[in-house]
Structure formats: C-alpha cells, structure tokens
Amino acid sequence: MIKKAFIFDLDGVIVDTAKFHFIAWQRLATSLDINFTEEENEQLKGVSRVNSLKKILEWGNKKISPDVFQSKMDQKNTEYLDLIKTLDTSDIMPGVHDFLLELKKQEQPIALGSASKNARPILKKLGIYDLFDVIVDGTNVTKAKPDPEVFLSACDQLGYVAQNSIVFEDSVAGVQAANTAGMISIGLGESSILKAADEVFAHFTDMPQNYINTLLSKKK
C-alpha cells in the first residue's frame, strides 16, 4: 500500500483561530496607536508571534524597548488565550475530522506542522490530539515559515522524505515553506491568495471523493 506523510498546519486549516489572532493583534496595535488592517493580518498568517509583532511595529513605524516588546507579546497571548478558551470539537473546520479519521483508517502517517506555541493545548481542546503521530510547533522550531524547517522536521520524524510528503496550509508563508521543502502543497482558502499552492480548496468538504487516493499517487 502506498503511504505518504500528511502534514497539517493548525490555525486556519484545522481550526479557524485566525480571526482570534486578528482581534488580539488589533487590540495590541490600537494600544500602540497603530492602525492594523485585515490585509496586513493576511501577511501574519503562519508567521511566528515574535515576527508578527516586529512586522506590526515596522508597518506602524514604531520603536519600543525590549521590555515593552516582551510585555506586548505576553499581552497579545493572554488576550488570544482568553478568546479561544471556549474552543471545542465543534470548532474543527468542516471536513477535517472525517479526513483525519479516514487517514487513520488507511494507516497513513499524520503530523502537525504549526508556528503556534499554543498548538498542543488547542489540539487537546478540539479532542483530536491523539490522532497525530508527530507534532512540530512553535516550541520546537528555530526558523519560522517561510523557512521549511517545521515541515522538514515533521516528515523526518515520521520517517518520510519531502517528495513523499503533503502539506495542508492556509498561509502564503506556509505554502512557500512546503514548496521550498519540495513537498506537495495543498492550499485551504482563496486561490487568488494561495497562488503558489499545487491545488487550492476553500474547505476540506470541497475535495473530490477519494481525494486521499489522488494525493497518494500525486507527484510534485
């Protein structure tokens, strides 16, 4: 039986936390007198917390001391954790749970490849933590997306090569990371934004029947 490494991004692919990241960043930007738009937020998808704050300060043309920088990062995460405290199984994006269960049934290896330092508690809240054979997140990587480190580490830990790995991503930075790694990139979101992905779907529920089989025989 053909097997491939199936690697999932978290925010925006498994769960729609992007809107909560946006609210928390927007509150933080306002506290610094910076105007922060939805278009700018799009560029923060898949980007680590520290790099996100650096970008917001750059766009707002603001400089802050290292101490204030750290406290603003903590403030953002506290707000974010408060916004996601009621997350549960019902917040899993449409079609994702069934897709994961089908992969399990077919004994395909599953990994998480996320920039988030909150990935593990979020997967536990969603009740799907145990479906993942390997978890690589913001607490394990040194180089943020678009660097491919997170995905290469995931496929390596699963015992697969990049050419036999498939990445599901909602961010421009994440699709770029998967492509740089030489992996098949499946975009979740708008094709006008995720132009570089090998294929794009709005949701998992839009994938054709037996799409897992199509992916197993797909070449980069």
Residues that bind Mg ion (CB under 5 A): 9, 11-12, 46, 170-171
| Residue 109 binds ligand B16 (CB under 6 A) | no
> Which of the listed partners (ligand B16, Mg ion, none) does 93 bind, with a CB threshold of 5 to 8 Å by partner kind?
none
Q: Which residue is nearest to Mg ion (CB)?
A: 12
Number of DSSP helices (H) and strands (E) in the chain, helices first: 9, 6
| Residue 21 binds ligand B16 (CB under 6 A) | yes
CB atoms within 10 A of CB 126: 21
Cα–Cα distance for residue pair 149/112, rounded to 1 Å = 13
CB atoms within 10 A of CB 117: 14
> Which of the listed partners (Mg ion, ligand B16, none) does 138 bind, with a CB threshold of 5 to 8 Å by partner kind?
ligand B16
> What are the two backbone dihedrals, phi and then psi, of residue 206, each rounded to the nearest 5 degrees?
-90, -5
Sheet holding 5-8, edge to edge: 134-136, 110-113, 5-8, 165-169, 184-188, 199-201
Selecting among 11, 137, 170, 198, the annotated active-site residue is 11
Candidate list 5, 7, 10, 134; residue touching ligand B16; CB under 6 A: 10
Residue type, 119: A
> What are the two backbone dihedrals, phi and then psi, of residue 84, each rounded to the nearest 5 degrees?
-100, 10
| CB of 2 vs ligand B16, minimal distance in Å | 27
| Residue 44 binds ligand B16 (CB under 6 A) | yes
| Residue 121 binds ligand B16 (CB under 6 A) | no
CB atoms within 10 A of CB 213: 12
| Residue 176 binds ligand B16 (CB under 6 A) | no
| CB of 206 vs Mg ion, minimal distance in Å | 18
**Residue ranges in contact with ligand B16 by CB under 6 A:** 9-12, 21, 44-49, 52, 77, 114-118, 138, 171
